Structure 1
Amino acid sequence: MGELLGTTVELEVTNVAHGGVGVARLDGRVVFVADAIPGETVLARISADDHASFWRAETTSVIDPSPHRRPHVWQSAALERDPDARAGGAEFGHIDLPWQRELKRQVIVDSLQRFAKLTDHTALDVVVEPVAGDDAANGLGWRSRVSLHVDSDGIVGPYAARSHRVVAVPDLPLATPAVEYASPLDERLFGAESVDVISDGRRGARVVVHAPAAGERTPPAGKPPVGKPIVERVGEREFRLDELGFWQVHHRAAATLTGAVQRQLIEQLFDADAPNLDLYGGVGLLTAAVGDRFGAGTRIESVESDARATENAGFNLRDFAKATAVTARVDRYLGQMLRTMTSADRGRFERASVVIDPPRSGAGKQVVKSLLELRPAQLVYVACDPVAFARDLGQLDAGGYELRSLTAFDLFPHTHHVEAVGVLTPR
């Protein structure tokens, strides 16, 4: 092991893997190849060969290019840069937009087949839809939030791809103009560790510089500062949140997901008086989406582990008479519900609709197990990771739930990330 590290090899890339890398084989071993497109023949430098089942490589030049290859939208991440200095965060920037979405579709379908064991299912015909305006902008200018890092020399920039090395860059083409303009790329921030640049919810941006605690290179354990409040607008509704709190990164993502949840909820199964839930509810975005779809008297509770987000959710949902927001870990909340439930409670919950928008790691076995015991009338699963979604879906399918519909959205152009919204009901 290690004898191939740094070696340049010729590879034929056959398909795409989750994570935005191509897949090739060398001496019978799988090689995950960055900056390549399925169908290409490339020269690539082996960057890791110490894993038992696969190696990693970075493309250095293209021998036989794909017809879908384009000049990279971000020169700081292009092949012309040494692989060690290529900026991360735009791993699909060398691929034309429609083909990026096709590759993301392939990853979703592969995940559903491998981890959820779906075969001959209409969900396998899913299409990754663009967000309005992105094609006209060539997928640029959408990031309303950017996290940058600072090295020991005070240089501000993103990490190099698949590393923790800060690289200097002159621009941030995926960021909104206000966020890019406010980013201190040409400054030296000695003593700082990282920088968040956040849209202020209007036309400007805020810069938050993070410094480690005295005598430490990294901040002590605990929650980061939440920052000042900002207001985001989705349609006619306003949402208060802390500037460092969670909000969708694409400036049109919140509206896109609101519309998707509202369209995909099955009206015939929705009971406004049932104990409906929005799990991992954040500041109440999807709770409000449900309330706006089915009326101000809809009963629904947002469950979120972050106390500040819950406080903001309570404020944002104040015009819904029967909407509540609680601070709790979802697994513990559902476990407590199961422990205290009466038979009458169970009957009411079986009429409920549950929206679930878990983190990238997915809901996990315990949360899914609890949902299967509770058996709501419908589950609306908002997924930001196709593999985690497929794993949860496999458990739900084995427990008696059926995937009724699935849509996907390209909320992260020029990256490998993709969002999906699925609706499941008991068989």
Structure 2
Amino acid sequence: MADAPDIVDLTITNVAHGGVFVARHEGRVVFVPDTLPGETVRARLVDTRKKSFWRAEALEVLDASADRVDHVWSASAIDRDPADRAGGAEFGHIALPRQRTLKADVLSDALVRFGGLDADSPFVRTVVEPTAGDDDGNGLHWRTRVSLHVDGEGRVGPYAARSHRVITVEDLPLATSEVAAAAPLRERLDGATTVDVVLSADGVLVAVDGAARTGAVHERVGERTFSLEPLGFWQVHREAAVLLSSAVSSAVDAGRFDPAAPNLDLYGGVGLFAATLADRFGRGVRVTTVEAESSATDHAAENLSDVVGARAVTARVDRFVRSIGAERDVARYRAATIVLDPPRSGAGTAVVGELAALQPAQIIYVACDPVALARDTKALRASGYELDSLRAFDLFPHTHHVEAVAAFTRTGDRPS
């Protein structure tokens, strides 16, 4: 061990939520990025203010895991000073199959610790499924949308990991070839602060400080074309919209689905999952898609114009669901199917409670954060619902993120 008091040798024991790994030093938990379970690393303690845990940054690998590989992005590699490591590829030093087992471990741990599931529940052993084409390409070239930053000297690049310091880079290996070629990495953009590079079915656009060409862009999913704002939300992985549409469709139990019920697509964006329901159950299906962003709702109305029973509502989901609870004929929602795709923070206890009070036939939950999903799972279980199915997908290779699609049904409706 080096003489400096803030330099320590640590043995990594397991993975934690958020793309960091766990070690112990003098009885205290230490979170360390850029490592792997089973490794011994030399690290610098960088945050020792809390009594419950400290944070450190890995400087050198003393005993490497068999799953460690050369980092897919040299700008993030461990041989760079920690302050100069580009953020956004925090699992890039790990073999792809091991990345997925680590993500499954995080999901399983969250479901037990925060979701209240038994350790022997089959959902605690959920496998993280690869996305088509990623294994052949080593998990590279999947990002169709990249957000970059510009520093005070006009230099363009990603932020350093866990900081707001711009790092100049030579390449963007997670981006599609079209996005990578269009990114102005070698340009000076004096006075700017952000650069977005977006690939849609219409081609590539580059927006500096949010300024993009006027008009909509378009995305194709199966036989459907979706319009959206140039910088509006759309799934980032090139295959994500198709994969998640299929997963949501499969998660819906046809025996519990009533096309005439007041079905809901919450946090609905431009109507992707409302369209999924219509494409499976017919274009006469009743479904309301709810989204707080009015421009997205306008596009949803256009995208669902062929669905006779569809409507698009601009509203905050919590307020919309609360207003339903005040309706006189609230019992009609017992036949409904509700799909929700909340932000990373999850739907939250209040929204989950309001939804459960409606007693819908089934709830399909699309989640991009394991802990948020687990907490909302606990709230649903406490309100009379049980987890019926769960699938997880590796839609963000070389990062710690994982997507999941969960289905919940009323406890009293489950077969004995």
TM normalised by structure 1 equals 0.94
Structure 1 residues 326 and 7, CA, compared in 2 at 3 Å: closer, same or farther?
A: same
1:380 is aligned to 364
- Corresponding residue for residue 417 of structure 1: 401
* CA distance, structure 2, for counterparts of residue 226 and residue 206 of structure 1: 8
Partner of 1:335: 322
CA distance, structure 1, for counterparts of residue 200 and residue 282 of structure 2: 30
Alignment correspondent of 2:150 = 150
Report matched runs for 1:8-407 at 5 Å. 8-119=7-118, 120-202=120-202, 204-210=203-209, 228-339=215-326, 341-342=327-328, 345-407=329-391
Distance 1:387 1:225, change over 3 A: farther
CA distance in 1 between partners of 2:7 and 2:183 (Å): 36
Deviation at 1:6, TM superposition (A): 8.3
Deviates more, 1:42-51 or 1:108-117: 42-51
Amino acid at match of 2:164: H
Conservation of the 8 A alpha-carbon contact between 1:149 and 1:194:
yes
Q: CA shift at 1:227, angstroms?
A: 5.3
CA distance in 2, matches of 1:200, 1:126: 32
Letter matched to residue 380 of structure 1: I
CA contact (8 A) 1:47 1:58 kept: yes
When residues 361 and 84 of structure 1 are mapped into structure 2, their CA distance, relative to the original with a 3 A threshold, is same
Q: Distance in 2 between matches of 1:97 and 1:247?
A: 25
The 3 A distance-change label for structure 1 pair 391 and 5 is farther
SS of 2:356's partner is helix
Residue 5 of structure 1, CA deviation = 10
1:49–1:380 distance in 2 versus 1, CA, 3 Å = same
Query: Cα offset for 1:225?
Result: 7.8
Cα distance in 2 for residues equivalent to 1:67 and 1:106: 18
**Aligned partner letter, 1:81:** R
Report the secondary structure of 2:335's partner residue. Answer: coil
Cα pair distance change 1:295/1:362, threshold 3 Å: same
State whether residues 5 and 49 of structure 1, in contact with CA within 8 Å, keep that contact through their aligned partners in structure 2.
no
Partners of 1:272 and 1:5 lie apart in 2 by 67
**Letter matched to residue 298 of structure 2:** E
8 Å Cα contact 2:297/2:314 also seen in 1: yes
Q: CA RMSD in A?
A: 1.4
Q: Deviations over 1:129-158 (max 9, x none)?
A: 011000001000000000000000111000
Q: In 2 relative to 1, CA 34–226 (structure 1 residues): closer, same or farther, beyond 3 Å?
A: farther
SS in 2 for 1:103: helix
Aligned residues: 408
Deviations 1:182-232 (A, max 9, x none): 000001111000100101324x31110018xxxxxxxxxxxx989541000
Counterpart secondary structure, 2:354: helix
Q: Is the 8 A contact 1:145 1:197 kept in 2?
A: yes
Deviation at 1:359? 0.2
Identity fraction in percent = 57
Partner residue, 1:214: none
- In the alignment, the residues of structure 1 paired with residue 4 and residue 368 of structure 2 have an alpha-carbon distance, to the nearest angstrom, of 33
**3-state DSSP of counterpart to 1:349:** helix
Gaps of 5+ in 1: 212-223
Q: Would the alpha carbon gap of residues 422 and 227 (structure 1) be closer, same or farther in structure 2, given more than 3 Å must change?
A: farther
Any idea what the Cα deviations from partners look like across 1:325-346, whole Å, max 9, x if unmatched? 000000100111111x22xx23
- Paired residue secondary structure (1:424): strand
Mapped partners of 2:253, 2:281: distance in 1: 11
Deviations 1:259-307 (A, max 9, x none): 0001111110000000000000000001101110111111000000000
Superimposed CA distance per residue, residues 147-171 of structure 1 (whole angstroms, 9 cap, x where no aligned partner): 0000001110000000000000000
Give 4+ residue runs of structure 1 displaced > 6 Å after superposition.
none
Instruction: String of CA shifts for 1:90-113, please: whole Å, max 9, x gaps.
Output: 000000000000000000000000
Q: Indicate conservation of the 8 Å contact 2:363/2:409, yes or no.
A: yes
**SS of residue matched to 2:391:** strand
Work out whether residues 241 and 312 of structure 1, in 8 Å CA contact, stay in contact via their aligned partners in 2: yes
User: How far apart are 1:237 and its partner, in Å?
Assistant: 0.7
Q: Find the aligned partners of 1:131 and 1:321 in 2 and give their Cα distance.
A: 33
Q: Is the Cα contact below 8 Å between 2:324 and 2:330 reproduced in 1?
A: no
The one-letter code of the counterpart of 2:73 is W
Give yes or no for contact 1:226–1:245 (8 Å, CA) kept in 2.
no
**Change beyond 3 A, Cα 1:315–1:274:** same
